[in-house]
């Protein structure tokens, strides 16, 4: 496992091909100029110390030095050990409604974005609990399995939209059934499912499925987003409202928050219903609920320590620079005696 601390310095590597190109152009120009000045045999007598090989070696060494110094600025880090960290917490699965009715703007900015805000703020206030995410509309889809990686959870959450599932509707029962597969540890008793929805469930099995989930030790809490007065479902293109969704008779569809459905589901699964209008109140309610639950110990493996590696690249960079200064400059007497390039043969 490794990390790159300052990736922006990789742009400095663009200088290397520029230097090489400049060197090639310079060599071509020198070759043409020398041919105009004298023939090859005469040039060798006039400039016996000239060596193309040394020029190529010099530019290669300088490029290597620049590469090493750039990598030192990037500062690669290597995970030195994998440590097992014991944690205590609750397994929480968020089931987020992504049906088209969640585009209604009766709660700002719209129901789906409000749902994302609620889940994000709840995750931000967790300590060591594990989280999972489910998206559902007419069917349920596993978005993220149980994990302690909150950053990934929030990333997957932000990518959710109403176009990710072709099957429309609000099948809360399907989401509850899928959630039961997330909790695969038979010894785990503190299982929580948080459903965020407008409650417009067109099936009648949600409460019955919630009761079955309760028998498996899953507590279900529901959060209602929207307004009981309701609102139309906008049809947008590039952020501009073109029209509103209409029914088969051509009438504008008005979608409303159905708190009764959400309350019934929560009641069947030993949970509670929370109105999602005020984010702060929702977060406080969830925090209070979780604090009263027994915490189960589990283990999560993670890289515990990353060590800087820049010093190695800095050392090699300095070595190549010194090599260039002391060995590859114009000939010195002692270098001539060494005859590194077999020039005295």
Tell me how far apart the alpha carbons of residues 304 and 337 are, in angstroms, rounded to a whole number.
54
- pLDDT given at position 302: 63
pTM: 0.63
Query: Could you tell me the mean pLDDT of each successive run of 10 residues in the chain, 345 residues long?
Result: 81 87 83 66 58 75 89 83 72 93 91 95 90 91 90 92 77 90 72 92 78 91 93 85 84 90 92 94 94 76 72 89 70 52 51
DSSP H or E segment with residue 21: helix 15-37
Q: Give ∠ CA 241-246-247 in degrees, rounded to 5.
A: 165
- pLDDT given at position 334: 47
**Domains along the sequence of the chain with CATH:** 2-75+309-338 (no CATH), 84-300 (3.40.50.410)
Cross-strand bridge partners of residue 92: 131, 192
Q: How far is CA 281 from CA 170, 278, 286, in A?
A: 25, 5, 9
- pLDDT given at position 328: 59
- pLDDT given at position 273: 95
């Amino acid at each position: 496992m490794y990390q790159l601390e300052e990736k922006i310095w990789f742009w400095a590597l663009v200088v290397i091909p520029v230097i090489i190109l400049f060197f090639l152009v310079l060599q071509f120009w020198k070759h043409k100029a020398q041919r105009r000045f004298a023939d090859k045999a005469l040039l060798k007598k006039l400039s016996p110390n000239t060596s193309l090989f040394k020029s190529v070696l010099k530019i290669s060494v300088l490029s290597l030095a620049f590469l090493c110094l750039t990598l030192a600025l990037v500062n690669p880090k290597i995970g030195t050990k994998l440590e097992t960290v014991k944690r205590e917490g609750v397994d929480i699965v968020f089931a987020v409604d992504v049906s088209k009715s969640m585009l209604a703007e009766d709660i700002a900015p719209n129901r789906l974005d409000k749902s994302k805000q609620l889940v994000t703020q709840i995750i931000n206030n967790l300590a060591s609990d594990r989280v999972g995410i489910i998206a559902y509309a007419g069917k349920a889809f596993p978005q993220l399995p149980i994990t302690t990686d909150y950053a990934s959870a929030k990333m997957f959450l932000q990518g959710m939209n109403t176009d990710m599932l072709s099957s429309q509707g609000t099948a809360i029962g399907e989401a509850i059934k899928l959630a039961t597969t997330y909790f695969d540890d038979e010894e785990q008793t503190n299982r929580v499912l948080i459903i965020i929805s407008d409650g417009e469930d067109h099936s009648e099995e949600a409460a019955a499925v919630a009761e079955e989930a309760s028998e498996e030790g899953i507590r279900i809490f529901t959060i209602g987003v929207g307004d009981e007065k309701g609102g139309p479902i906008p049809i947008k293109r590039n952020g501009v409202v073109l029209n509103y969704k209409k029914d088969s008779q051509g009438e504008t569809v008005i979608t409303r928050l159905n708190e009764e459905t959400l309350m019934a589901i929560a009641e069947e699964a030993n949970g509670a219903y929370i109105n999602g209008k005020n984010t702060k109140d929702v977060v406080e309610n969830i925090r209070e609920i979780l604090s009263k639950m027994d915490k189960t110990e589990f283990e999560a493996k993670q890289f515990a320590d990353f060590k800087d590696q820049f010093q190695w690249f800095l050392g090699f960079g300095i070595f190549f620079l010194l090599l260039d200064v002391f060995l590859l400059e114009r000939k010195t007497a002692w270098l001539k005696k060494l005859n590194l390039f077999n020039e005295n043969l």
